[in-house]
Every structure is written in C-alpha cells, then in structure tokens.
Amino acid sequence: MSGLRAVITGTGSYAPSRIMTNDDFAAYLETNDTWIRERTGIRERRIAAEGEATSDLAVEAANKALESAGLAPSDIDGILLATATPDILFPSTACLVQARLGATRAFAFDLNAVCSGFVYAMTVAKSLVETGAAARLLVIGSEVMSRSLDWSDRGTAILFGDGAGAVVVEASTVVSRGLGSFRLGADGRHWEMIHTPGGGSRRTEEPATIRMKGGETFKMAVRQLQESVLEVLKLEGISPADISLLVPHQANIRIIDALAARLGLAPERIMVNIDRYGNTSAASIPVALDEAVRGGRVQEGDRILLTAFGAGVTWGSGVLTWEAHRQKRSRM
C-alpha cells in the first residue's frame, strides 16, 4: 500500500433546461402520466437542446465540481468520462472536455459501462490515485440519452433523460477514510438485454437507438444490485445499518425500493431524484450525489453506498466515507 487515500473533494452537476413531462409523451404515444409514475417513479426528464452534446453537459458539471473543490482546471492530472453517448465516435469526449476546460496537464479518456459507468470510473480513479499514478482527477458521468432513443417506443422513450455529474477525486496522505471498497462485475452473455443495434462497426445500417427487454432487465437488476451491494458491504466489513445514505443508479423507483427493502433502509437514507431526471445512465449517480451534498444530506463521517446496474450487463458498488475534504487540503 502506498499510504495514499482517494477522497472526493468536490461535486457538481448540470442538466439541460428543457423539461419534458409525462404528459408530453401522452400527447403522441399510447401512455399516460399515471402509468409512467406508478411503473417507474418518473415525472419528468431533461432533454438537451438542439446542438447540445455530452461534452457541453460534462463541462458545466466539471466546472462546478472544480469550483467546489477550490481547484483550477490546470490542477487536474486526468479526466475520466463515463458515457455511452459520446459526442462523436472518436476522439473521446473526455479529450473534448479537457480542451474546453483548459485542463492542459490532464490525460483524458472515456469509459463505457453504460449505466454502471460512474461506479466503474470511480473504481479506476481510486486505483490511479492510491497507486500514485495521479493525484487529482475529474471523474464525470455525462449522457445525452435523448439522441439514442426511439421516440415511438413507449417502453424505452419514457425512461431516459439527459444530464451530467462530476466529482474531483484527490490523493490524501492524512485522510484515513474517503473511498473504501469498490467491486465491479459484468456478464456479456446478456449484451442484447439493453443495446443499440447500430452506431458501431458491426451493423452500420441499423439504427443507433436503444432496444431493451424491460421485464428481464428489471428482474436481473433487482437481483444483481442486491448481490453486488452485499458483496461490497462484506468486503468493507459493515452491515446495511452502517450506511448513512444509499445513492443508487436511478433506473426505476421500484428497483430502488426493492433494494432498500432488502437492505432494511428507511426512505430518509436513500437518495432519489428519478422523478425529476429519469434514467440518465452514467450521470445518474454523480447528479444524485451532488444534489445530496448540496442539499445538506451528507455529513462528516457518513458512509455512502453507491450501486449501479446497466447494459453489458454490468454492475458495481462502492462504499465511501464523507469528510469535509476541502478544508483539509492544506494537510493533504
């Protein structure tokens, strides 16, 4: 062990200004507000403006995270951007963000684990920081899901939204807590469960819009999230009772409720904002975390549990202990 500990020192988030309500879907699809609210927990979602892309959202969120960490872009050693909806196929959206921020010293790459992307990226960030490979990282989840939707498919179009969240992860020699155990998983045999047929090198004639087996995805998500959470709690040597706040990927309120019931967590210990954003894929956890921090729901010493499941299929969970890091930088 290097003696270095990875800690979050700033958070930020951004969502496009345009709100699309359930009634907006009901105006042209065979669906209604009651069905969507009861089956998913979603009331509205944000939709990127024409010409607004994943990097635009990411830059806004990253600037807020840098500001809350008290850092300048030039302080950053690396940018990890979790996204399944890059601006263009290549170069990476992270490189576009690096240029826009003026993070001239930073390496930059995208990471695609779809809805699990942010937990994957945090796991990589922890490793980079704790091995001494980088001291200050921006970890971003940013998605414009609205460009990957089949707007005529009521089973998927109503679920997703656009947004971005970011955190600054720094190395500390004095903080003993910060990012704890993280564990990831994948089972590529189920790649067809949620996928976009086109958009890559395999089937260029197919549309690059989401196809999903909703019922199967729902059941697997509930089972896999529970397993993943229990695995990481065991690794950390704690029980659900030790968790102050669960910040889960926001895919469906019924998936979150099933997980909370299994863990015995009361509603005040679960961060939920799916009602306002829908499923923003890799952005959902950092947006929810930022809202929890800014909303005063996170206190010094709180144990926070992150967990996600997504296309791949992929999953991952992580435990972190919150500290008022910024004031401690002088001692880091």
Q: How far apart are CA 325 and CA 20, in angstroms?
A: 37
Q: How far apart are CA 192 and CA 203, in angstroms?
A: 14
Using the contact rule CB under 6 A, the part of the chain among 33-41, 141-149, 162-170, 298-306 near ligand COA is: 33-41
Active-site entry in 112, 115, 190, 273: 115
Which two tokens mark 53? Answer: 């892309």
317 is a site residue for ligand COA (CB under 6 A): no
Q: How far apart are CA 92 and CA 153, in angstroms?
A: 29
Listed in order, strand segments (DSSP E) in 107-193 are: 107-111, 136-144, 162-172, 178-186
Site string for ligand COA, 151-170 (x = CB under 6 A): ---xx--x------------
Nearest approach, Cβ of 261 to ligand COA (angstroms)?
Answer: 17
Sign of CA dihedral 238, 242, 244, 249: positive
Active-site entry in 22, 190, 249, 252: 249
Q: At what angle do helices 54-69 and 284-294 cross, to 10 degrees?
A: 30
185 is a site residue for ligand COA (CB under 6 A): no
Which one among 11, 217, 280, 317 touches ligand COA, defined by CB under 6 A? 217
Q: How far apart are CA 204 and CA 214, in angstroms?
A: 25
Nearest approach, Cβ of 87 to ligand COA (angstroms)?
Answer: 22
Q: Is 279 a catalytic residue?
A: yes
252 is a site residue for ligand COA (CB under 6 A): yes
Q: How far apart are CA 74 and CA 54, in angstroms?
A: 22
Amino acid at 33: D
Nearest approach, Cβ of 38 to ligand COA (angstroms)?
Answer: 9
Give contact residues for ligand COA (rule: CB under 6 A): 31, 35-36, 39-40, 115, 154-155, 158, 194, 212, 214-215, 217-218, 221, 251-252, 279, 309-310
Residues with catalytic annotation? Answer: 115, 249, 279
